[in-house]
Amino acid sequence: MAVKNNIILNHNEINHKIRRIAFQIYENNVNEKEVILAGIDKNGYVFAKKLKTVLQKISEINPILCKVSIDKKNPHADIETSISSDDYKNKSLVLVDDVLNSGTTLIYGVRHFLNVPLKQFKTAVLVNRNHKKYPVKADFKGISLSTSLHEHVNVVLEGKTFEAVLE
């Protein structure tokens, strides 16, 4: 018997969460001219691009995209960013990922950005799971979800239909 996947967020719900998080980022940065949206490579970066689009529509803030490349199998390895540290120094930065699971990826991303003085540092995730191995939290989250350790959340943010599925 096949296991049925459960859709936890459909296309419209994801778009609503993106819009709501963009408004929260705007509210937290209402006096800023620029905000760095540092998306963790793959889905985190796609999520950051979608936040940028909404921020541009709802505010005067100039959102600057930054791709953050982390080796998820070896998070101790050097982390690369698509913009130089001078480009985000003394600015407001939001580290963006699709799913906060154990917190490993996010905590190493946070550690990387702590090497540069920032005006403000926040985190944003679409799905916040409650299996944290590290003391890291999402400041802006689309949905909090209690799942078992053997379950997996798969987020699709490209194509015509977005969805978050519990597998």
What percentage of residues in the chain have a pLDDT greater than 70?
Answer: 95
Tokens 């949206």 -> residue: 37
Mean local confidence (pLDDT), 63-80: 89
In the 3-class helix/strand/coil scheme, how is the chain assigned residue by residue?
CCCCCEEEECHHHHHHHHHHHHHHHHHHCCCCCEEEEEEECCHHHHHHHHHHHHHHHHCCCEEEEEEEECCCCCCCCCCEECCCHHHHCCCEEEEEEEEECCCHHHHHHHHHHCCCCCCEEEEEEEEEECCCCCCCCCCEEEEEECCCCCCCEEEECCCCCCEEEEC
- Asked whether 167 and 22 are in contact (CB, 8 A), the reply is no
Which of 54-58, 77-81, 131-135 bottoms out in mean pLDDT, i.e. has the lowest? 131-135
pTM for the whole structure: 0.90
Catalogue all structural domains in the chain, each as residue range(s) with its CATH number: 6-148 (3.40.50.2020)
Q: Looking at per-residue confidence, does 129 or 97 come out higher?
A: 97
State the chain's mean pLDDT as an integer: 90
pLDDT of residue 83: 95
Residue 153 CA: distances (Å) to CA of 54, 57, 69, 98, 103: 24, 29, 20, 10, 14
* Residues sharing a CB contact under 8 Å with residue 110, sequence separation 6 or more, in sequence order: 95, 121, 123, 136
What percentage of residues in the chain have a pLDDT greater than 90?
Answer: 60
In this predicted model, what pLDDT tens digit does every residue of 96-128 receive, in sequence order? 999 988 788 888 899 999 999 999 999 999 998
